[in-house]
A and B are shown apart, each in its own frame.
Chain A
Amino acid sequence: MSSEKNLNLKLNVWRQKNAQSEGGFETYEAPGISTEMSFLEMLDVVNEDLITKGADPIAFDHDCREGICGACSMVIDGRPHGPKERTTACQLHMRSFNDGDTIAIEPWRAAAFPVQRDLIVDRAAFDRIIAAGGFISAPTGSAQDANSLPVSKQNADLAMDAAACIGCGACVAACPNASAMLFVSAKVSQLALLPQGQPERYIRVRDMVAQMDAEEFGTCTNHGECEAACPKGISVENIARMNRDYLKASLTYRPEATGGGAG
């Protein structure tokens, strides 16, 4: 039943000691790699060998290893998360490669994602964008009855599709402009499509876009590379929705009143 094979591979990996140092590519042999391994398991094997030899293992981000946390982040042969569609690096299996391949492994490249070490980048810029408005302000206490807020099936589905974003940053890594608009638009859309998101809908899009610009991400030129690279298949339709909301927000924005309103 098993079609397991062993591959002998060469890795061309970006190595960088810390955020300050200059990095460079190093070549490693990866012999006897099972096709049943995930890409990260392959790196584990290479690292075991490096540790045994007393060398520094290749540092990379990883956590759940089941494609839902968004931690793993590496550009494999010129594509974020590697050659397979809708797949994170941890879910990419070595059967996607051939014996004798040389595999290039690079970190996400963006000014907003500074390399910390080897393949690890600092993605706190995404956290700051969320902190700028990617939430709803709701009173605490027990949840209200689910049916008290009607949501159309279509909007519920679209909101869920947008909410599938795991914040891995592959969109930024794939974008020729290092733009974060797919990420930001998914986070704007998941709330803009639901009734709970309405009170802060327009202030949210303004604040999140302002934070996105402040983090020095690039801007969208509608290449569509982000959508192609996204492991969760987030659609660029979300970017159109964000643009629409941003335009409306800009036309209707009022600075907060200093005096009290009614009541």
Chain B
Amino acid sequence: MQTGAGFFGSSIGKKIVMAITGIMLIGFVVVHMIGNLQLYLPAHDGVYALDTYGEFLRTLLHGSGIWIARASLLAAAGLHVWAAVGLTLMNRAARPIGYQQQQYDASTFGSRWMRVSGVVVLAFIIFHLLHLTIGNILPGFEHGKVFHNVVTGFQVPWVSAFYIIAMVALSTHIHHGIWSMLQTLGLSHPRYNGLRNGLATLLTIVVIGGNISFPIAVLTGFVR
């Protein structure tokens, strides 16, 4: 039998696109957080570790490395959003008339607010790039002076507040997302199903804990 709209048109196909791009994006978030921990390293000969790390990333593979990474991440984010929009439209159309009353027994805050947290994270990514990559949000931005830009940025309370709110949204998003993508890729077995939730919780705490520590360290004057 000749069937349907093909892999990318199908519900499960889009879910698998969602899961695979999700793995790429979570991988990035983990590496990004670990790299930024260098905010806490002392300066050598007046040069901050974070600035050296930024220089390393910009010159990796004669400067092509960062563009390969940016292109891959942009593609992953684009596909992730494309699949999310497609699936959301299918889901909206699937229940045109809702219930007067609906009780939830199994879903979580994270699972029900996935779309909202996703939009918050997307808005944050755009802001974050304007703030610390392009540098046109705040006055005093200096290209290459990563440490300086991070510290002066987080000294502005609303910047730190938005950052922390975005991290809370990201934490609910990846906590459900990690479990969800393993399920979508068919990784389910009684022997390791407990580990799936454990992995989701551990990664969420590590990533978000690390990330939220940066603005707090700046605001409290621990890093300056």
Query: Which residues of A are at the interface with B, using a C-beta cutoff of 8 A?
Result: 12, 25, 75, 77-79, 104, 106, 109-112, 132-133, 176-179, 181, 203, 206-207, 209-210, 212-214, 216-225, 227-229, 236-237, 239-247, 250, 255
Contact = CB atoms under 8 A, between A and B. Distances in A.
Contacts of B15: 219-220, 243
Contacts of B102: 75, 78, 176
A217 B94 CA distance: 5
29 contacts: A75-B102, A78-B101, A79-B105, A106-B99, A109-B95, A111-B95, A112-B94, A133-B1, A176-B91, A176-B104, A177-B95, A178-B94, A213-B4, A214-B4, A218-B90, A218-B93, A221-B180, A222-B179, A236-B188, A237-B190, A240-B188, A242-B12, A243-B15, A243-B16, A243-B183, A247-B12, A247-B185, A250-B7, A255-B2
B133 interface: no
Nearest to B111: A223
A229 B105 contact: yes
Contact of A222 (B16, B91, B95, B183): B183
Contact of A203 (B1, B176, B193): B1
Interface in B173-188: 176, 179-180, 183-188
Contacts of A179: 11, 91, 94
A213 B184 contact: no
B106 interface: yes
Given A219-B87, A223-B107, A178 B95 contact: yes
Contacts, number: 151
Nearest to B190: A237
B32 interface: no
User: How would you classify the secondary structure of chain A's contact residues: helix, strand, loop or mixed?
Assistant: mixed
Interface in B1-55: 1-5, 7, 9-16
A257 B214 CA distance: 60
Given A222-B179, A243-B12, A177 B99 contact: no
A244 B111 contact: no
A222 B11 contact: no
Contacts of B190: 237
B220 interface: no
Interface in B109-150: 111-112, 114
